[in-house]
Amino acid sequence: MKKVFKNTRSMTILAVMLAITIILDVTPLGAIPLGSISATILHIPTIITALIAGPVAGLIMGTLLGLVSLLHALTRPVTPLDPLFINPLVSVLPRMFIGVVAYYVYVGIRTLFRKDRAGETVSALLAGAVGSLTNTALVFLMLYLVYAQRVVEIVGAAFNVIILTVFTTNAIAEAVISAIVTAAILLAYKNYSRKK
């Protein structure tokens, strides 16, 4: 972790990605309210941070994303579930793993493919999708463990129905968007880095 804070490149990436995350959070670009839940793309900078700067930077960026989410829940709740995100077990803890999981998926898939552009593209697509699904799965796991009954009361449906609905609508859409955006940005970054 000390290496990340002593590395100017990593600190710059973290600062830029945090700024992008904050902009996505305070503008309509980052979260799309859909009934009692929000479809979010706020996790994409965390995934990209991990793929560019490594798993520790991804962990730090995920923690920062969680803190942004917590502050959002405190200051500007949008959906009926947002007040539950004041609890760091729901807002911060799940987000810490987004970048770490995405990084290791990327590295794992890259080892299966030759070091060519197609392998890099597939790795980035899968890392983006799995990072997004990690966010959704862990947030809902924590909501279930901490607030299952309250979520059922707020939404007015059984928890398994809520999860099925989210995973067949929001989670799939978020994963597809995350995969495409992550791959596009990562490949552009890698091309730029190779030319330098």
| Helical spans, DSSP H, in 115-169 | 117-155, 159-168
Its pTM stands at 0.90
What CATH number should be reported for the domain holding residue 72? 1.10.1760.20
Task: Give the residue numbers spanning the domain of 105.
Answer: 2-195
- Cα–Cα distance, 60 to 69 (Å, whole number): 14
What does the alpha-carbon distance between residue 56 and residue 167 come to, in Å, rounded to a whole number? 28
Give the total number of structural domains in the chain: 1
pLDDT in tens, the chain (196 residues): 667 667 888 899 999 999 999 999 998 888 766 565 556 899 999 999 999 999 999 999 999 999 999 999 999 987 889 999 999 999 999 999 999 999 999 999 999 887 788 889 999 999 999 999 999 999 999 999 999 999 999 888 888 888 888 787 788 888 988 999 999 999 999 888 877 6
Contact criterion met (CB below 8 Å) for 115 and 74: no
Longest dimension (CA), the chain: 55
